Structure 1
């Protein structure tokens, strides 16, 4: 059985250059996060090969992303990138923010292998007729009533069901370690006389879950890592960070 290669990319974006670049391209919103700006910045640096899923941890820990391109291939793309975009991402060996670090990531896992994980997700569901996104907790309240539900338990069950649908892993246990309502910036469709895509802010749940899982299908699990978990994977959600399982 063959598996596509997978690499873990780490960069240390320069906070000041990142903010300036995002502001110049009108990608910042004081009420939202950096997800759309980083999505655009990765595309500016790597084109159609922009790594995703990704997760921006903070100014100290930087950005992590999965990619199927090697360090050599990524360096070749970065060398052709707009200098401002490359500097904002902290690329290059001379960057005071650490440069680009790329290491091979495992793609072959035994069935039943236990792993610890952490993942940032947007726990939403899409309504069938309208396609409108809704907070999974608010949708659950409509079915059973507010008094009988715990937000964390709803989000854990949402993740359990999602992994079952995407395939590759089974949730053993999990807990929510961070939650907030967050506005994320999205670009609308082009239209009107100026044919400009105007941004809009979409509010919804932003949750970080940690726990343990079991690999149920090695090939599907490798695909799950490469694709990410849930929706909005191109905007900073869905990257599975793995660690050894608890003893």
Structure 2
């Protein structure tokens, strides 16, 4: 099961100009939809996800099951403005392990959007929704609710077990999304408001194939828009 870590260095000015022209910059400055659109424009159906834009210095990281040669072949057809915005001349990738040792301990970092989608109505902040459903909402705290949810996500199919996790950053942010086409074939833009959290911690690998699938899939919703990418480091770096 092949997995590659991709890196490129987007040009901040070209990126902001492109996102503004395309009306893909959220009121809070989130670039998730802009990167989603840029990656699709550059790589088509091979667009890597999940991805994480760190900052202008560290650039953009993404997971893909495609080798660098295939990505460069598709990116060769990108328009000049897409090439500049993504920094495709800096595109690199390296292979990730194909087999993970059971009980291997790793440090992780992940940006997540912990939400639920009720049967009716828009998506909801998981903490607020859980508090409303609880008989003792005063006993709940945001970090604990999110950490429990995160632990369940990692544990699916015995992928991994979290041994320690802490919420390093949190904010409520608005992101750009587009609804399905209306009767005229047009897609309306809307800006849902929701939780935006970064967790760091340690995990213990379970089933090797399940862990690779978790990395490929990402954690939670909005994975194609900058959330859910699990970044890994040696355990001593956490």
* Same fold, judged at TM 0.5 (above): yes
Which ranges of 4 or more aligned residues in structure 1 deviate by more than 4 Å? none
Q: Is the 8 A contact 2:5 2:95 kept in 1?
A: yes
Q: CA deviation at 1:166?
A: 5.4
CA distance in 2, matches of 1:126, 1:170: 25
> Taking structure 1 as reference, are residues 183 and 244 closer, same or farther at Cα in structure 2, changes over 3 Å only?
same
* Counterpart for residue 161 of structure 1: 152
SS of the residue 2:221 aligns to: coil
Q: Cα RMSD between the aligned structures?
A: 1.5
* Counterpart for residue 30 of structure 1: 27
Question: Cα deviations across residues 95-122 of structure 1 (Å, max 9, x unaligned)?
Answer: xxxx112111112101111111000001
**Structure 1 unmatched runs, 5+:** 93-98
> Taking structure 1 as reference, are residues 167 and 83 closer, same or farther at Cα in structure 2, changes over 3 Å only?
farther
Q: Is the 8 A contact 2:27 2:174 kept in 1?
A: no
- Map 1:206-221 to 2 at 5 A: 206-221=196-211
SS of the residue 1:8 aligns to: strand
| Matching residue within 41, 46, 53 for 1:44 | 41
Question: Cα deviations across residues 158-203 of structure 1 (Å, max 9, x unaligned)?
Answer: 101222235411111100000000111110121144x321110001
TM-score of the superposition, structure 2-length normalised?
Answer: 0.94
* Counterpart for residue 170 of structure 2: 179
| Matching residue within 8, 11, 14 for 1:17 | 14
Q: In terms of mean alpha carbon deviation, does 6-15 or 134-143 score higher?
A: 134-143
TM-score of the superposition, structure 1-length normalised?
Answer: 0.91
- Map 1:1-247 to 2 at 5 A: 4-92=1-89, 99-127=90-118, 129-130=119-120, 132-142=122-132, 143-165=134-156, 167-193=158-184, 195-246=185-236
Q: Is the 8 A contact 1:166 1:224 kept in 2?
A: no
Q: Is the 8 A contact 1:7 1:70 kept in 2?
A: yes
Q: CA deviation at 1:29?
A: 2.4
**Structure 2 unmatched runs, 5+:** none
